[in-house]
């Protein structure tokens, strides 16, 4: 993929992150991205073929918006949520396996969490992907839907915060930016937000002590993704993604997160309304960016039509987020893979 003939400043971007339909960009997608200028892109399994194809795809995305620094996101957690699979990446264990290791051996669990993220960074960067929607900082409770389940590091805030920090640092060490999710906490949700909107009825004190705690501990991370969840003790009408009370009062206020805040996928069934109205509500609630994942052109056009330019505080946060990227360290990949495997061979 040839380098772009032009460079576009970030303040010409719109407040959105978009997906694509397939393994390569169509002429319609190229024209659309060039005209509407999303701030970043996100990949799913439908976009993943082999390494050279991914490098071409991510380069084409950045070329369309004239920004070599345009972030390309992916959900590469391990367990059931892992977009790169063999031979591009091994099948990694879920977060819960790291939590079990940590329960037996704190130092070993922290090291394994760091190593797994460092290995993710090797896998992702060789394909042109530079941002991972990890760590998952949700803390499940008994009776909650298993949409989080094994994706969580544990069922207590201290374990989740400790392993989440190690995972984030492993990504940083490999030159990949982390995105913590799903702020202010998805662990109590009784429904899968891909299909319906859950309401959490816990008191504010319970939420503060349990759900918010890992996010508060990692509030210095550069990016976070919202939860499509109603917290009736705070805003009984709107999910966090659409709630200024939650974004201003809880996420920015009590939790103290001042990084770049993006919505969870606007195409999930938890949010009601058409795409223009959902996008407008997200931005009105002072979420910085709208995330749209499925690559459906009609929906993306509606999101773009309701998404204004990246400016003011959202632009400042976007600039800070990209500036947080670190140069990869000198970790040797083969040695790291052997060390990581050893933790789970010993546990078998």
Catalytic residues, by residue number, are 194, 264
Q: Measuring CA to CA, which residue among 229, 335, 289, 278 is closest to residue 13?
A: 289
User: CA 344 to CA 92: how far, in whole Å?
Assistant: 11
Please tell me the distance from the alpha carbon of residue 307 to that of residue 59, in angstroms, as a whole number.
24
CA distance to 327, 328, 330, per residue, from 173 (Å): 7, 5, 9
Cα–Cα distance, 346 to 112 (Å, whole number): 12
Note whether 315 and 10 are within 8 A (CB).
yes
Whole-angstrom distance, CA of residue 346 vs CA of residue 235: 47
Does residue 309 have a cis bond before it (omega within 30 degrees)?
Answer: no
The answer to whether the beta carbons of residues 309 and 235 sit under 8 Å apart is no
**Dist. CA 43–CA 227, nearest whole Å:** 20
Number of neighbours of residue 28 by Cβ within 10 angstroms: 10
Q: How many CB atoms lie within 10 A of CB 8?
A: 16
């Amino acid at each position: 993929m040839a380098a772009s003939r032009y460079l576009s400043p970030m303040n010409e971007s719109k407040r959105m992150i978009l997906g694509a339909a397939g393994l390569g960009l169509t002429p319609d997608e190229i024209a659309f991205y060039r005209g509407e200028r999303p701030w970043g892109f996100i990949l799913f399994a439908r976009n993943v073929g082999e390494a050279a194809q991914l490098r071409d795809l991510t380069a084409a995305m950045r070329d369309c918006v004239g920004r070599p620094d345009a972030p390309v996101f992916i959900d590469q957690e391990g367990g059931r949520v892992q977009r790169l699979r063999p031979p591009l990446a091994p099948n990694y264990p879920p977060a819960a396996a790291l939590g079990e290791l940590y329960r037996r051996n704190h130092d070993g669990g922290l090291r394994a969490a760091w190593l797994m993220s460092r290995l993710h960074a090797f896998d992702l960067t060789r394909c042109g992907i530079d941002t991972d929607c990890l760590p998952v900082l949700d803390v499940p409770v008994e009776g909650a839907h298993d949409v989080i389940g094994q994706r969580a590091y544990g069922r207590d805030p201290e374990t989740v915060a400790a392993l989440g920090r190690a995972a984030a640092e492993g990504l940083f060490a490999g030159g990949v930016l982390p995105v913590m999710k799903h702020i202010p906490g998805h662990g109590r949700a009784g429904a899968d937000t891909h299909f319906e909107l859950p309401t959490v009825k816990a008191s504010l004190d319970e939420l503060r002590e349990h759900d918010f705690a890992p996010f508060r501990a990692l509030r210095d991370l550069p990016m976070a993704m919202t939860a499509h969840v109603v917290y009736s003790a705070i805003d009984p009408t709107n999910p966090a993604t659409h709630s200024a009370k939650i974004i201003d009062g809880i996420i920015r206020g009590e939790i103290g997160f001042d990084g770049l805040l993006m919505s969870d996928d606007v195409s999930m069934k938890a949010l009601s309304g058409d795409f223009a109205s959902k996008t407008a509500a997200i931005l009105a609630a002072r979420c910085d960016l709208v995330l749209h994942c499925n690559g459906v052109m009609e929906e993306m056009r509606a999101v773009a039509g309701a998404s204004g330019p990246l400016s003011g505080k959202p632009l400042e946060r976007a600039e800070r987020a990209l500036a947080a990227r670190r140069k990869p360290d000198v970790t040797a990949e083969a040695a790291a893979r052997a060390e990581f495997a050893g933790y789970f061979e010993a546990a078998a």
